[in-house]
Every structure is written in C-alpha cells, then in structure tokens.
Structure 1
C-alpha cells in the first residue's frame, strides 16, 4: 500500500491589513501534525472579541493587539507541527513501515481476538 499526500504549511507575515483579517488556519496554519487547530481558532476568536471590546472605535489597534497577543503561541504550535511531522508522515520507507506495523498486526485475527479479550471484555 502506497499513498501520496502533500501537506503544506503557509506562514503569513501578518494576519490583518486594514479591516480585513485572517482567522483560524487561514492565519496561523498549525497543520494537522500539531493538533491545535480548533483550540487556536476558538481561542483566537475569543481574543479578537476581547480586543475589539478593549479598543472601541479603533479596529486597527484592536487587530494589532490581537495579533501581538496570539502570534507567539501560534508560532510555537507551528514549530511543534514541523517537529513532529516525521512521527505521522515519515519520509523514510522503513520508518513508514514501522509506524504502520501496529495497525497491520492488529488486523491479524489472532491479535484481534487477543485485543478484544484483553481490552474490551476485561
């Protein structure tokens, strides 16, 4: 079995220009390897609302404050995704085979029966 998939990470130099903003993965794109896309999206939206409340009448200042507050955490999660991608999608064929081995073994009838007895039936 051989699958080819391309996963990219776009790093935006800024998340807003004027009154137009990027939110969620469009802004910080942490990739599926980091596993923080949803929580950053919800947290980012919440923080945006807080900054808009804190800067009434000055959307530009609110957006700048929002980005300054959120960017360090988003960049940490982007780096995390780049560091762990080899665990989920190894480039080396041997490592890919080794990461798939537990699933292949679990599909064997004897292993499946053992797993059911051990973990499901208790």
Structure 2
C-alpha cells in the first residue's frame, strides 16, 4: 500500500494521476524486488531439500514462492493500474486541506 500512499502524496504536490502512480511504482520497485528476491532465495532450501519431511517443507516453500510472486505482481502492476483507474474519481487530499483552512478562517472571523 506504500505505492498508493506515495502516489497520493505526489498528487497532493500537484502531479497528475499518471505521473504520480508511475513515480510511486518506480520508487517502490527496488525495495519490493529486494524483498521478493531475498524471500525466494530463503525458500529455495525448503523447495530443494531432501530427507525426512521434505515433502511438507517443499510444499511450504512452494507456497511462499508462489504467494510472493503473486503479491509482487499485485504490488507492481495491478495496484498501480487500479489506482490509475480509480484516482481520477477522487480529488487529491490537498483540496480537503484547503477547504478546511477556508472553513476555519470563516469560523474564526465569526467569533
């Protein structure tokens, strides 16, 4: 969800939706790939192991491997695509801050 948070922050600074989602995905690419690679390499002994209980450990290793692969695809491809489709329907949060500041000034002026 850090991709969405970074994209929201960039939109608050005035970037377009596509610029924001592209920059956010590129910013998170290296950390996501490093996490995925280290976990997959850590699961390899489970997948390739032999001996007593190797079938159970192998199954767990494949689940870790597959789950992390799917979550990487979701994080780097699916989430940015969904964000780019839904974000134009909502205003950046900066608009809410401007509105709240205006309402606060109006309230203080009435006192």
- Shared fold per TM-score greater than 0.5: no
Higher helix share: 2
Q: Which has the higher contact order (CA 8 A, sep 6+)?
A: 2
* TM-score, L = length of structure 2: 0.34
